Amino acid sequence: MSKSSRKPADIPRGPVRSFADLVGFQDIITAFHELAARDRVPQVLLFEGRPAIGKRKLLARLAATIYCESRQGCGHCQGCHSVIHGYQADLLWVEADGPIKVAEAEAIQDHLSYQSSGAQRVVVIVDIEDMNDQAANRLLKTLEEPPPRTLVLISSSRARQLLATITSRLVRWHVQPPPIELSQHWLMHALQEAGLTLSTTDVRDALERYSLAPGRALLALKMANSVEQEAQHRLASLLLKPLEGRDLHELQDLLKQQGWKANELAQHFELLLNRYYKWSLGLIAERPSHWPASVGAPDPRLLRQRRRILQQIYRGGGQGHNFLNAQLAAEALGSDTAF
Ligand SMILES: [Zn+2]
């Protein structure tokens, strides 16, 4: 799965953990099943909708219906497991590091044109974004005339930015955020699993604040909670001043231990700064407790540099959704000691 150059050892697990906590999308799933039963699923589908509403899991669930013994994406049979745990050979899961490159477009083409066991060949492209002309041309060829018995499922949170030549070849399916009651239920459960108890009001507020995207609300609630505070404290003490030799190891350990994805690391950093600025402007009374005593006002040049590097890490990490390589991230952040 994922991009072709990634070693299996770097892959922490399959694309999803299970389908048990897939929230909403029942209308899409039912419609897809009906189309599949009549052998009428369009060969190239684009699922567009806001970020962090669960499109990735939806794609995994739809892809699983192809290999599921009951054709329902039951989540329990061997076919479903092969998708969940990322060992289905007829499925290519592309979660590209940034825009799709020519080599990836070629891998997609190769995967679809290779006929092996006679099972349907599927490609899933998570969060497609604009790509260079060469890659787009290569991908266009495939999307224009996909080989028979193949299926391409694509998701995007920014479909409007895609080239019209690409989108005109896709059947677009608009994905609405799950109903708030379902998201609320999912969030309560996810928070409980993380050892947090929050009131339904807090959970609902967070959902509304984050445009009903349960993924973003969960992250924000976790970040605001004490479980994460210790880690934030350590992150602040490392990132708000130039890193010295020993700090690099500590940063690496912290990143490994927390298992953050690139978007989470970037958000943590922004949250730290946000609180500091609020305090310095007098919007909150208490000096942020996570602010290390050894750091006064942060050096603006250092902050700019950190932001720039975090942005690169974010872009380099499939728009932040991939797990961080702790060593590379720490080294990149440490490369600015002579800023
Ligand atoms: Zn199944």
The full DSSP string for 249-278 is: HHHHHHHHHHT-BHHHHHHHHHHHHHHHHH
Given this model, what pLDDT does residue 10 score?
39
Same structural domain, 40 and 108? yes
Given this model, what pLDDT does residue 17 score?
78
Q: Which residues contact 238 (CB under 8 A, 6 or more apart)?
A: 247, 250, 251, 254
CA 107 to chain centre: 21
Asked if residue 17 belongs to a domain, the reply is no
Residue 240 structure tokens:
């708000």
Report the alpha-carbon distance of residue 237 to residue 243 in Å, rounded: 10
Distance 258 CA to ligand 1 centre (A): 32
Supply the pTM of this predicted model.
Answer: 0.66
> Number of structural domains, the chain?
3
Same structural domain, 240 and 335? yes
Same structural domain, 199 and 285? no
- Beta-bridge mates of residue 150: 121
Same structural domain, 203 and 140? no
Same structural domain, 238 and 209? no
The DSSP bridge pattern shows strands 44-48 and 150-156 to be parallel
33-39 contacts, C-beta under 8 A, 24 or more apart? 33/65, 33/71, 33/72, 36/65, 36/66, 36/71, 37/71
Report the alpha-carbon distance of residue 89 to residue 108 in Å, rounded: 13
Given this model, what pLDDT does residue 285 score?
65
Distance 24 CA to ligand 1 centre (A): 18
Give me the phi and psi of 189, to 5 degrees please.
-65, -45
Given this model, what pLDDT does residue 93 score?
93
Distance 247 CA to ligand 1 centre (A): 47
Coil/strand/helix, residue 90: coil
Report the alpha-carbon distance of residue 233 to residue 41 in Å, rounded: 50
Given this model, what pLDDT does residue 153 score?
96
Angle of helix 26-37 relative to helix 55-67, nearest 10 degrees?
Answer: 30
The last residue of one of the domains, among 174, 209, 236, is 174
Same structural domain, 97 and 192? no
Same structural domain, 233 and 151? no
Per-residue pLDDT of the chain (339 residues; tens, 9 = 90+): 434 433 333 333 567 878 877 888 999 999 999 999 999 999 999 999 988 898 999 999 999 999 999 999 999 999 999 999 989 999 999 986 678 889 999 999 999 998 766 789 999 999 888 788 898 899 998 998 899 999 999 999 888 887 788 888 889 999 999 999 999 999 998 888 877 778 888 888 889 888 888 888 888 888 777 656 678 778 888 888 788 878 888 888 888 888 887 777 887 787 777 777 777 787 766 666 666 666 667 788 888 888 888 888 777 665 555 667 788 888 888 775 444
Same structural domain, 241 and 197? no
Quote the domain boundaries for residue 164. 26-174
Distance 175 CA to ligand 1 centre (A): 23
Report the alpha-carbon distance of residue 139 to residue 152 in Å, rounded: 11
Given this model, what pLDDT does residue 171 score?
92
Distance 13 CA to ligand 1 centre (A): 19
Given this model, what pLDDT does residue 320 score?
53
Report the alpha-carbon distance of residue 196 to residue 194 in Å, rounded: 6
Given this model, what pLDDT does residue 230 score?
76
Distance 3 CA to ligand 1 centre (A): 25
Distance 62 CA to ligand 1 centre (A): 11
Asked if residue 12 belongs to a domain, the reply is no
Same structural domain, 50 and 149? yes
Asked if residue 4 belongs to a domain, the reply is no
The last residue of one of the domains, among 133, 151, 174, is 174
Distance 68 CA to ligand 1 centre (A): 4
- Beta-bridge mates of residue 323: 261
- Beta-bridge mates of residue 44: 152
Angle of helix 326-334 relative to helix 300-316, nearest 10 degrees?
Answer: 150
Distance 64 CA to ligand 1 centre (A): 7
Distance 65 CA to ligand 1 centre (A): 7
Distance 78 CA to ligand 1 centre (A): 7
Report the alpha-carbon distance of residue 180 to residue 187 in Å, rounded: 10
Asked if residue 162 belongs to a domain, the reply is yes
Distance 254 CA to ligand 1 centre (A): 38
C-alpha to C-alpha distances, 93 to 125, 185, 199, 201, 219, nearest whole angstrom: 6, 29, 37, 37, 24
Distance 191 CA to ligand 1 centre (A): 27
**Strand runs labelled E in the chain:** 44-48, 91-94, 121-125, 150-156, 171-174
Q: What is the CATH number of the domain that holds 94?
A: 3.40.50.300
Same structural domain, 220 and 87? no
Asked if residue 189 belongs to a domain, the reply is yes
The DSSP bridge pattern shows strands 91-94 and 121-125 to be parallel
Same structural domain, 147 and 199? no
Tokens 């507020």 belong to: 205
